Structures are given as C-alpha cells and as structure tokens.
Chains A and B, each alone.
Chain A
C-alpha cells in the first residue's frame, strides 16, 4: 500500500471484539473493532511474519497464533516476546461510504 495515500476500503461490518484481514493494494491489513471504533495494523507479526488475523483478539490485544507474541491493535505496540518490534499501524476513519485507512502520522 502507498506510504502516503489514504485508501478507502469497504466496511467489513465487524462487531466489537472481532477482526478480519483485508487486502489493500496487495498488502494484508488487519482490521479490528474495539469499543465501536475500527483499528488497522499490517497483518503480519514482526517476529516470524505470521498473519495476526489467524490468532486471537482479546480486548485491544491481538495474539499471534504461531509463538504467542502480543500487540496492541490500537497502536501496533509490541506487548510481549518473542516479538521485539511494533507492527505498522494505520489511522482509520469511518464514514458513510466505508473506512479510510492512512499511514499513522508518527511513521518514519
């Protein structure tokens, strides 16, 4: 996905506590809904590059299914070993036409 562009995706209609993976210009993006708001991360664990969408979402924490690394879906922050790097996160806005996903402002 372009580093600077905002991309629109169809709203996946998730309930709170649900997550899904969507393809955005060839990149797998993890969409999660927490407390009525959508959050988006790259759908790839930074430890061994497994899809986080195959893990579990508990509250704001996603668990990688392979070795159990945990990330905060609101920020991409790494919460546990064996991962040591944050997952790339995106800003998500919801409107009547779906979701707008853009790179977060504190990206390098």
Chain B
C-alpha cells in the first residue's frame, strides 16, 4: 500500500489578532482601574438592597472597625494640606512641610492628632503595620468633630459616608452619629455591600 503523504504545514500561527485583543484588554483595564487605597483596617460592611452609588469625590469617609476605632479619610490633596495646617494650629501641633505633603497623600488615618506627626514620619510599609488607636470621639476630647468641622469649612459640598463593620457595637455608632449631628451633618451615607440575592 502506498504511503499517504500528509503535506507538511507550518506550525507557526499568526499571533497578530491575539496581540490586538490582549492590548485592547490591557488598555481597558488601565483606563478602568482605580487603585485600591491602602486601608489600615479591614472592615466587613453589612449588606443592603440599596442601589445608591457613593459620589466619586467630596466624600469624608469615616471607617469604624469592629473594635470601635474610628478612621478619618477625605479626598483632595489640597483640601488635606489646608486641613492639617488648620488642625495643627487648633491643637498646637506643628507639622513640617514633609509631613504635610505626606498627609496630603494619605488616604485614611486613625490616631489622635498628637500622635499624627509620628505616624507621618513612618514609611508607608511601616505605617500599614503600625497599630492606630483610632480618633478620639468621646465628649471630653472629640477630635473627630473638629476634623469634620474643619473639612466642611474648607469644602462645603463634602458629604459624610460611614463605613462600619457589621460586628461593631451600637454605642460607638451612636457616639459617631451624635458627633455628626452636633456638627449639623444631618444627612449622611452608610456604605454597604450589595445584597446577595435571597
């Protein structure tokens, strides 16, 4: 029986199309991406059916972890630069220009203002590991109220969003809400997850 000759075909495949798709996807992800900010605490937010989206900018983010530590964050570098200077004047804490610069890049923090210079001097990796005690919110020493008040003086369109852990005990929530109400923030947002379908 004569051998059947199979014509030898080249094994190289045209990869142009694949490259095109790859780079298209790459471009998409590069444009759509928004880096996750470094968060000093992990917060597991409760879920809700609410569909309202959080505004992109002008948001004060109050993160409260399950132990009741309050973290403060606001967007806008210039706002933050002015904010820390005003708070420094108020609490008689001086910040070096380097610390102010560092603060303007910080997404969120949770220390009393007296400890803030030390926190700002750390490198970002050290800061992630450092245990931050949270911003004082009790009635004798309510620094949180001042942070919110000063931010609102700088940017009057700012909204307050509270991101709390589901296991957080209610007294702390009450304290934070009372602080907000004292500063005439009567309309605010609670950040929630999407409800998993029932």
Pairing of A with B: no
